[in-house]
Amino acid sequence: MNDLLDLSLTDARDGLRKKAFTAVELTEAYLAAMDKTRALNAYITETPDQARAMAVKSDERLAAGTAGPLEGIPLGVKDLYCTEGVLTTAASHILDGFKPPYESTVSSKLWSAGAVLLGKTNLDEFAMGSSNTTSYYGPVRNPWQDKTDPDKALVPGGSSGGSAAVVAARSALASIGTDTGGSIRQPAALTGTVGLKPTYGRCSRWGVVAFASSLDQAGPFTRTVRDGAIMLGAMAGHDAKDSTSANIAVPDFEAALKRGVKGLRIGIPQEYRLKSLANEIDDLWQRGIDWLRAAGAEIVDISLPHTKYALPAYYIIAPAEASSNLARYDGVRYGLRSEGKTLDEMYANTRRDGFGDEVQRRVLIGTYVLSAGYYDAYYLKAQKVRARIAEDFRNAWSQCDVMLTPATPSAAFGIDDKQDDPIQMYLNDVFTVTVNLAGLPGISVPAGLDHKGLPLGLQLIGKPFDEETLLQTAQALEDAAQFSAVAGLRA
Amino acid sequence: MAIDTKTVARVAHLARIALPEDRQETLASELDTIVAWVEQLSEVDTDGVQPMSSAVEMTAQWREDKVTDGGYPEKIVANAPDPVGHFFSVPKVVE
């Protein structure tokens, strides 16, 4: 059955329709894979009974000729999406035992399209982190190994570390994550998977545990660009329950893939050429440029002058929004409660016990920058800098159609590597965070291996609601990169 | 140092997090480092720039002001740590 695990989503979809195998067979193969890779700690909750029941229904619909676009496709879902009747933790102690009485819009669209839920994947607590080490349920191990030190446990990136790891480890055919500052694209790069963050507003945020509402966006992890296009088609669309979701038609993303890059203008932002950039990353970037040029694209140097201010602006805006969003966790309506003599004490004790260190740090930073006397100096200033960053992109789009950058400043690092400097950890998102601030779509495509045999990704950035051009360029990159390496600790 | 343990204690109170004393020192130094790092934003000329609060320019849609959901109190309290009937319970707030 192992060959079933090696099929792309596209091939599995086509195989199911041709009755080459059944949805139950495919799901059983993945449930066995989950069993085999459990040591990676990539799932917080496994839902085998639900998966089998859903697969049976899929086979019925396949037989009846009423199959949806994702019929019988087994998926992992980041445990930040509310799933009706299934434990939803946000990887936080504070949501202990929380079983939502509703289903998030994006996940319900996937089930309507016929997909099968394998389980809820691990993440950084409340999606705050770049290594999946802040989870209350423990870190996720990256299925990739450093060939010079194969026993060293590496991070899968974060915050959607579990969703990235399950796709790389073959314990899900695809998965969904969320991206607030790079939480899909960075772990995708570190696990050799394709990670797509759509334009802000493309997918509904309703039913997704909120971190920073003006930045959060749902997106897929897949093994190929085409798989990502198929997933996005099922996830996207206007939702009356999310007033920030865009009322814009969802194009046929898969159809855009064959367009190629001939005549497209690819922007290379000069400010991303950091002095500290590792040679391996710089070389990979240059290879990406050469690949796209060889495929017929025109390469244009562009400037995004405010790039260096993106991370500091993000680390004001995101914590500020988080401090507000996380105010709801107070021990009254759901999750953990730590007793106190007064109501205030009960709140404060619950939040002391329920939030981990990184979440507390960010809630405190957010509360500080929003507090009287500091609001203008920090929060308002950061929002103005954000406007400057968005303006940089608007100006650059007159010269190019899509941008090419590295996805991350390095490959996967060790779970036990020293992480006592929060800012050092924040720098993982240096290439991804601008995209969230400007609300743009971005994708990370696996493009090569470093000297330790670890995957590296290249990022493409698109114009708002132009995921088609983004995906057609990603397809060209994928075709040229011929990335065929697989993780050592896969099922 | 812009952020000392006193500031941390004040902000922790605003955020309703009961910080143990021994965490305050560490947090003061961590938060101070972060705040010093974000200070570089003051270099950016933002005169006349409108603060950006939404990622994509969009106009909020009007909708009819009517009830579209509700009527299932048992679902609402199903996850409550200590519900009493269809009510949430909290420590006594009025003596």
B88/A199 CB distance under 8 A: no
Domain count, chain A: 1
Q: How far apart are CA A427 and CA A421, in angstroms?
A: 11
> Tokens 């969003």 label which residue?
A325
Task: Give the chain B residue nearest A376 (alpha carbons).
Answer: B51
Whether A390 contacts chain B with CB within 8 A? yes
Output the six-digit token pair for A343.
């109501």
Whether A368 contacts chain B with CB within 8 A? yes
**Residue A465 covered by a domain:** no
Q: Which residues of A54-84 are buried (b: 16+ CB within 10 A; e: fewer)?
A: bbebbbeebeeeebbbbbbbbbbbbbbbbbe
Q: How confident is the model at residue A423 (pLDDT cuts 50, 70, 90)?
A: confident
Q: Tell me the pLDDT tens digit for each residue of A350-409.
A: 999 999 999 999 999 999 999 989 999 999 999 999 999 999 999 999 999 999 999 999
- pLDDT, residue A1, reads 44
Q: Give the contacts of A59 (CB within 8 A, at least 6 positions apart).
A: A22, A23, A24, A72
Verify cis geometry, omega within 30 degrees of 0, for the bond prior to A213: no
Whether A372 contacts chain B with CB within 8 A? no
Whether A367 contacts chain B with CB within 8 A? yes
Q: Tell me the pLDDT tens digit for each residue of A151-191.
A: 999 999 999 999 999 999 999 999 999 999 999 999 999 99
Q: How far apart are CA A144 and CA A148, in angstroms?
A: 12
Q: How confident is the model at residue B1 (pLDDT cuts 50, 70, 90)?
A: low
Q: Which residues of A407-423 are buried (b: 16+ CB within 10 A; e: fewer)?
A: bbbbbbbebeeebeebe
What is the domain extent for residue A229?
A: 2-259
> Tokens 């839902």 label which residue?
A47
Q: Tell me the pLDDT tens digit for each residue of A448-464.
A: 999 999 999 999 999 99
Whether B1 contacts chain A with CB within 8 A? no
Residues of chain A numbered 104-123 and touching chain B (CB < 8 Å): none
Q: How far apart are CA A50 and CA A47, in angstroms?
A: 5
Cα torsion A118, A210, A199, A484: sign: negative
- pLDDT, residue A422, reads 81
B35/A438 CB distance under 8 A: no
> Which one is predicted more confidently, A453 or A417?
A453
Choose among A435, A219, A215, A178: nearest CA to A318.
A215
Average pLDDT over residues A77-100: 98
- A78 catalytic residue (yes or no): yes
Q: How far apart are CA A165 and CA A72, in angstroms?
A: 21
Phi and psi torsions of A5, nearest 5°: -70, -20
Task: Give the chain B residue nearest A464 (alpha carbons).
Answer: B56
Q: At what angle do helices A225-235 and A105-112 cross, to 10 degrees?
A: 110
Residues of chain A numbered 346-365 and touching chain B (CB < 8 Å): 346-349, 351-352, 355, 360-361, 363-365
- A463 catalytic residue (yes or no): no
Which amino acid appears at position B61 of this protein? Q
Whether B71 contacts chain A with CB within 8 A? no
**Residue A241 covered by a domain:** yes
| ipTM greater than cut 0.90 | yes
A352/B17 CB distance under 8 A: yes
- With a cut of 60, say whether residue A142 has pLDDT above it: yes
Catalytic residue chosen out of the listed positions A92, A107, A130, A159: A159
H or E element, residue B75: helix B73-76
Whether B91 contacts chain A with CB within 8 A? yes
Q: How far apart are CA B62 and CA B42, in angstroms?
A: 38
Nearest-5° angle of CA A448, CA A486, CA A135?
95
Q: Tell me the pLDDT tens digit for each residue of B44-79.
A: 999 999 999 888 777 777 889 999 999 999 999 999
Q: How far apart are CA A361 and CA B28, in angstroms?
A: 10
- With a cut of 70, say whether residue A63 has pLDDT above it: yes
Boundaries of every domain in chain B: 5-41
H or E element, residue A260: none
- A109 catalytic residue (yes or no): no
- With a cut of 60, say whether residue B88 has pLDDT above it: yes
Question: Which of A103, A355, A365 is the mutation pick for testing B, counting most B CBs within 10 A?
Answer: A365
Question: Which of B17, B66, B88, B93 is the mutation pick for testing A, counting most A CBs within 10 A?
Answer: B17
Average pLDDT over residues A81-92: 98
- With a cut of 70, say whether residue A247 has pLDDT above it: yes
3-state secondary structure of B13: helix
Residue A39: is it exposed, middle or buried by C-beta count within 10 angstroms (0-12/13-18/19+)?
exposed
